[in-house]
Amino acid sequence: MTLPIRNVAIIAHVDHGKTTLVDALLKQSGTFRDGEEVPDCVMDSNDLERERGITILSKNTAVNYEDTLINIVDTPGHADFGGEVERVLGMVDGCLLIVDANEGPMPQTRFVLKKALEKGLRPIVLVNKIDRPQADPHGAVDKVLDLFLELGADDDQCDFPYLFASGLDGFAKEEMEDDNEDMRPLFESFLHHVPPPAGDPEKPLQLQVTTLDYSDYLGRIVIGRLHNGTVNAGQQAALVTEDGSIVKGKISKLMGFKGLSRVELESASAGNIVAIAGFAKANIGETITCPNEPQALPLIKVDEPTLQMTFCVNDSPFAGKEGKFVTSRQIRDRLMRELETNVALRVEETDSPDRFAVSGRGELHLGILIETMRREGYEFQVSQPQVIYREVKGQPCEPYEYLVLDIPEEGVGGCIERLGTRKGEMQDMQMSNGRSQLEFVIPARGLIGFRGDFMRLTRGDGIMNHSFLDYRPIAGDIAARRNGVIISFEEGKATFYALKNAEDRGTFFIEPGAKVYKGMIVGEHNRPQDIDLNVCKTKQLTNHRAASGDELVQLQAPADMSLERSLEYIGPDELVEVTPESVRLRKLSKKKLAKR
């Protein structure tokens, strides 16, 4: 006899606590044995996810509660990983919407919630972090209702159940006055408010591919929900591809989910979420079905990429000194392997064998790929991100973003002025407790490089969030407002003497002793034009001691050019050189620029 099933997706804005909440559910469901050491954020298995405190990849887990199997899908909260969100919502029958008791719904809450409502899901709302100071749990519920109405939710969806919780302390309750110390009310709400999965085990097999994984031993693994029928390990099946053709194959391995691990299954029936190996060419949205009666499910539509960069072989004077994988073949193979699991990514070969056009959902999406590759030992260069234009009804259009800024009041004027020059249009403005929340609609290219300006205008005290809105007619030219750069004109080691003498020319990105080469960008000039400098110049030594020789001379701290900041900073004639040990900026010579 199979267990009753509930399939639930957990959706929320970045940093509203959904991964911590899943930790509490796993611990209280008996997933871990007594005495077992359990790390925090167990669902964030990727090193980058732990460092950044965000979920990048959607993941499945399953817990048992009172003889019911509850499949839980942890989804990304950042809009750059919207490709993950859209697919997993097709696997579930309900969703848990988590909002911060202080902040309420935020832009990416809006993005994911809109997708859930479009699929007809009735969310359970959980107001998290009620233990924080300045929390306003009931105000957060009111804001969620306003958002539901704004997104066109029907009467049944607007009459949503809600709970109050603290994922960190591991409790949930139906009313603020209740005295409860565990997650039982949340488990009960899953049983009462999430419908059991529809599907008939007696009908022909239908499983839609919603997530891809890869194993060196099994090859491509597809994860999806059984909409109809029963599947057995080792049985013959057929894949209905996107173009309608049918590819026959065998299910070599059938796996289910238990806690954080996958377990081998002999069979599974309609409603279950399973992983299947045996179909090496299966793609997102395609259907695995019965070979005798192949019936395809409607294809899943994923938002197209909006940003493109060029990945190319590193040809700087320092090429090959720090990386393990440096050839075009190795870079190409790694990018193609990324396509096995990263469905929102596109990779196209160019007229040059050393360059590849890589398209993604945003700067963070592409930045995560670049950071992952450099940690794996790859060395390469990337160009300035460019938006992808599209023709809509015969008119050239560009992607627009919905932008929300949460800033101190003294930074409002500067942000409005700067976004105005970037073709941003303010939609709303609210002020409370010395802070302002501004809402804008802005072309995606207007946001490229804005984060650095934003941090300066708000003195690091601002919060910036944005999500893809739609394609609209091209807004016109956006004036770049960045000073020129300081370029090294010889190879060697930067000296304290040279940097100190040129300190009034601008801000440097390097420290004394850093290795530089001709054409490498070492700082930002304080004027609009570029300038070449000899940063390796040494002091002429004499046998006379200067009167000021014993004075302590200090150098300004260099600007921290992280990978993300470098990608935002570079211009169209500049590249970011990425190696496992370094991130450098360089200027393209006129000769190389002409070739591109």
User: By C-alpha distance, which of 108, 59, 578 is closest to 369?
Assistant: 578
| H/E run at residue 331 | helix 328-338
User: By C-alpha distance, which of 553, 530, 418, 434 is closest to 479?
Assistant: 418
CA dist 574 and 392 (Å) reads 31
Find out whether 131 is annotated in a ligand binding site. yes
Two structure tokens written together for 393: 């009804």
Q: Is the dihedral of CA 340, 341, 343, 346 positive or negative?
A: negative
Find out whether 17 is annotated in a ligand binding site. yes
Find out whether 18 is annotated in a ligand binding site. yes
CA dist 175 and 405 (Å) reads 32
Q: How many C-alpha atoms does 337 have within 13 Å on its Cβ side?
A: 13
Find out whether 129 is annotated in a ligand binding site. yes
Find out whether 67 is annotated in a ligand binding site. no
Find out whether 537 is annotated in a ligand binding site. no
DSSP state of 362: S
Two structure tokens written together for 61: 């887990």
Find out whether 16 is annotated in a ligand binding site. yes
Query: How many other CB atoms sit within 10 Å of the CB of residue 536?
Result: 18
- Listing DSSP states for 182-234 in one string gives SSHHHHHHHHHHSPPPP--TTSPPEEEEEEEEEETTTEEEEEEEEEESEEETT
Contact 98, 215 (CB under 8 A): no
Quote the distance between the C-alpha of residue 145 and its chain's center: 27
Give the 3-state secondary structure of residue 156.
Answer: helix
Contact 265, 302 (CB under 8 A): no
Find out whether 538 is annotated in a ligand binding site. no
Contacts of 221 (CB under 8 A, 6+ apart): 212, 213, 214, 215, 253, 255, 275, 276, 277
In what side-by-side order are the strands of the sheet with 236-240?
Answer: 246-250, 236-240, 287-289, 206-215, 219-228, 273-277, 253-258, 261-264
Given the DSSP bridges, would you call strands 124-128 and 94-100 parallel, antiparallel or unpaired? parallel
Give the 3-state secondary structure of residue 462.
Answer: coil
Contacts of 374 (CB under 8 A, 6+ apart): 563, 578, 579, 580
What are the residue ranges of helices labelled H in 339-393?
Answer: 363-375
Contact 313, 356 (CB under 8 A): no
Could you tell me the CA-to-CA distances from 284 to 86, 90, 242, 414 in Å, in that order? 11, 12, 9, 44
Two structure tokens written together for 63: 């817990």
CA dist 258 and 72 (Å) reads 10
Contact 288, 239 (CB under 8 A): yes
Two structure tokens written together for 42: 């167990």
CA dist 426 and 441 (Å) reads 7
Give the residue numbers of the binding site.
15-20, 128-131
Give the residue numbers of the binding site for GTP.
15-20, 128-131
